[in-house]
Structure 1
Amino acid sequence: MAEILRQRGIPFIFVTAYDASEISFRVSDERVLKKPVTGDEMLGALRTVLPHHELKSTA
């Protein structure tokens, strides 16, 4: 899935229980959030990969 998103130029974030170093198919500049993830962490990561979109907290 990651390769398809890369080919299409679609930004994404890995959310996983693994450390970033354990994801062999990851490109070095791709974001990885390790579970458990808070809403603030997710929002912050989304802001980095989607800098031109308005992302609002629901809190």
Structure 2
Amino acid sequence: MILNEENSLLKATEATGKSFLLVEDEALIRMMLADMLEELGHRVTAEAGSLAEALSLARDAAFDIAILDINLAGSVSVPAAEVIAERGIPFLFASGYSEAGLPRALGDRPMLRKPFQLKELQGAIRALLGAG
């Protein structure tokens, strides 16, 4: 793994190789997030750009962690988050909005505020996994 100056504090040996479900309606943001995860040593195994896709993947796809945008082209990702929570899979939200619209049961989930940097993503993943 090649590390650039901006993220030189990241260690290649910290890579845990987790698989991710990405739920993001903006394709460019989803691609950028996938690149960031790969740079951290992870892999994206499933991607969704709509609530319908997210629900299907939340039920059936194999992944270790999910990152969900809250607002999916006017729909909220909460139903998919609830399915993921029922499966016992850790997840976090990534949004430019506040968590005010989340149900109380999901209000304690970690949230990354867009835009975020690689180090913030790494910290959120480590905290989610209890390593940080």
Q: Shorter-chain TM-score: what band?
A: 0.7 to 0.9
What does residue range 1-59 of structure 1 map to in structure 2 within 5 Å? 1-21=80-100, 23-25=101-103, 27-51=106-130
Structure with the larger RCO, 1 or 2 (CA within 8 Å, 6+ apart) = 1
TM-score by length of 1: 0.73
Residue ranges of structure 2 left out of the alignment (5+ in a row) = 1-79
Computing the radius of gyration over CA atoms, which structure comes out larger, 1 or 2? 2
Give 3-state SS (helix, strand or coil) of 1:13's partner. strand
Higher share in strand:
2
- Paired with 1:25 and 1:36, the residues of 2 have a C-alpha distance of 23
Aligned residue pair count? 51
Flag structure 1 segments of 5+ consecutive residues without an equivalent.
53-59
Q: Superposition RMSD on alpha carbons, in Å?
A: 1.6
Measure the CA separation in 1 of the matches of 2:98 and 2:130.
24
Scaled by the length of structure 2, the TM-score of the pair is 0.35
